[in-house]
Chains A and B, each alone.
Chain A
């Protein structure tokens, strides 16, 4: 069996920026063991598989090199990019049915693709004493949702962090988001550390913005925000706070198109 395989850089307007994802269009679902083997072989943070179910409705599943996961932002953006470009060029809105994250809608807005995701506002929490030492610099404030969110005074503080990943991995939440106000046209910056999931630092993290957007929308008193994730590869995100939901939008660049033979 021959399958198409695309590799797309998501949340960037230039090649080698953003977060790379593999995307595999399918006629019908493969056995889970086969999808897992493909994702392991690709060795990117996620490989997305989709099956067309209607004109603009698609089933969507995501696999890391070790397991299937419930929700992933950048591979969803990358999948929408592949569908708008190669599968359904006349569509303006796509609906993805997922196993555990409900339906996800992606709309085309000029050069950007916009994802409709749940808001996960951060709340006050008990701060483990090891968090500040694991980050190497004490934050001015710590909140939490799924992840800890450490707020710093300046973008330079966040840029200079060199975390102790062993200590971060031992914390009681999945990951740590570090954030600070942005500069120029950027409202806020962030970085994302998830060593317990074998990702010391993620280049761009859609799901972290489910938490970042409500926080910065309230703090800055504006619903539309421009965000930059200041990892080595850098991600650019256009955000909107809409109460229970958030919009996370960005661009994609095609790196590679190929074919695999099973």
Chain B
């Protein structure tokens, strides 16, 4: 069996920026073992598979080691492929998921906009290992159900962090988001560390913005925000706070199109 395979850089307007995802459009589902083997072979943070269902699609995401509950950048990349190659008449696509509800993506001018749940952060008692793991004391620590959110005073503080990843991996939440106001032309910057999930630092993390957007919307008193994830590859995101939901928008660039043979 021959299947199309695409690799797309998400949340960037230039090749080799953003976060790369593999995308495999299917007519019918493969076995879980086959999808896992393809994702392991690709060795990217996520490989997305989608199948037509009614008017829209059903999507699943696999890391090199397991199926993922929710993945923003691979969803953006899948929508990019549908809008630009598979069904260019559309300007909206909905993806059914197993555990993350219905995810819709709209085509704006140059950007694609994800409609995701808001996961606002709450103040927490920071474990002492958090500042030790980050090797720098944050101004403020909050948390969502999933991640710690460590807030710093300046962009420079976030840019220079060199965390002790073994300590971060031992914390009681899945990952650590670090953030600060931008020194430049966007509203806020961030970085994302998830060593316990096999990702020392993620280049661009859609789902982290489910937490970042409510925080910065309230702090800055504005609903529309621009964000930059200042990893080595750099991600650019246009955000909007809408109460229970957030909009996370960005551009994509096609790196590779190919065919795999099972």
Complex interface: chain A residues within 8 A of B255 (CB): 41, 260-261
Assuming A258-B257, A261-B254, is B41 touching A7 (CB within 8 A)?
A: yes
Q: SS class of chain B's interface: helix, strand, loop or mixed?
A: strand
Chain A, 1-19, contact with B by CB distance < 8 Å: what is the 0/1 string? 0000101010000011000
Q: SS class of chain A's interface: helix, strand, loop or mixed?
A: strand
Complex interface: chain B residues within 8 A of A41 (CB): 7, 9, 16, 20, 255
Report yes or no: A256 in contact with B37, Cβ–Cβ below 8 A. no
Give complex CA distance A258, B42 in Å.
13
Give complex CA distance A171, B16 in Å.
34
Give complex CA distance A256, B7 in Å.
12
Considering only CB atoms and an 8 Å cut-off, how many residues of chain A contact the other chain? 21
Within 8 A of A (CB), among B233-261: 254-261
Q: Which of B37, B257, B258, B262 has the most CB of A within 10 A?
A: B258
Q: CB of B43 within 8 A of chain A?
A: yes
Q: Which of A15, A41, A261 has the most CB of B within 10 A?
A: A41
Give the nearest-CB partner of B4 in chain A: A258
Report yes or no: B43 in contact with A259, Cβ–Cβ below 8 A. no
Q: CB of B126 within 8 A of chain A?
A: no
Give complex CA distance A43, B46 in Å.
12
Q: CB of A37 within 8 A of chain B?
A: yes
Q: CB of A29 within 8 A of chain B?
A: no
Report yes or no: A254 in contact with B258, Cβ–Cβ below 8 A. no
Q: CB of B44 within 8 A of chain A?
A: yes
Q: Which of B166, B254, B256, B259 has the most CB of A within 10 A?
A: B256
Give complex CA distance A15, B262 in Å.
7
Report yes or no: B16 in contact with A259, Cβ–Cβ below 8 A. no
Find B259's partner among A16, A20, A257, A261 (CB 8 Å cutoff): A257
Report yes or no: B256 in contact with A258, Cβ–Cβ below 8 A. yes
Report yes or no: A5 in contact with B256, Cβ–Cβ below 8 A. yes
Taking the nearest CB of chain B, how far is it from the CB of A68, in angstroms?
17
Give the nearest-CB partner of B7 in chain A: A41
Give complex CA distance A241, B173 in Å.
52
Assuming A40-B16, A41-B16, A258-B5, is B43 touching A5 (CB within 8 A)?
A: no
Report yes or no: B258 in contact with A258, Cβ–Cβ below 8 A. yes
Report yes or no: B40 in contact with A257, Cβ–Cβ below 8 A. no
Report yes or no: A16 in contact with B40, Cβ–Cβ below 8 A. yes
Assuming A16-B40, A41-B20, is B259 touching A256 (CB within 8 A)?
A: yes
Q: A residues bordering B, Cβ < 8 Å?
A: 5, 7, 9, 15-16, 20, 37, 40-41, 43-44, 166, 254-262
- Report, nearest first, the 7 A-B pairs whose CB atoms are least far apart: A258-B258, A256-B260, A37-B16, A16-B37, A260-B256, A258-B256, A256-B258
Of the A-B pairs whose beta carbons lie under 8 Å apart in the complex, a sample of 14, sorted by A's number, is: A9-B41, A15-B37, A15-B262, A40-B16, A41-B7, A44-B43, A254-B261, A256-B5, A257-B258, A257-B259, A258-B257, A258-B258, A259-B257, A262-B15
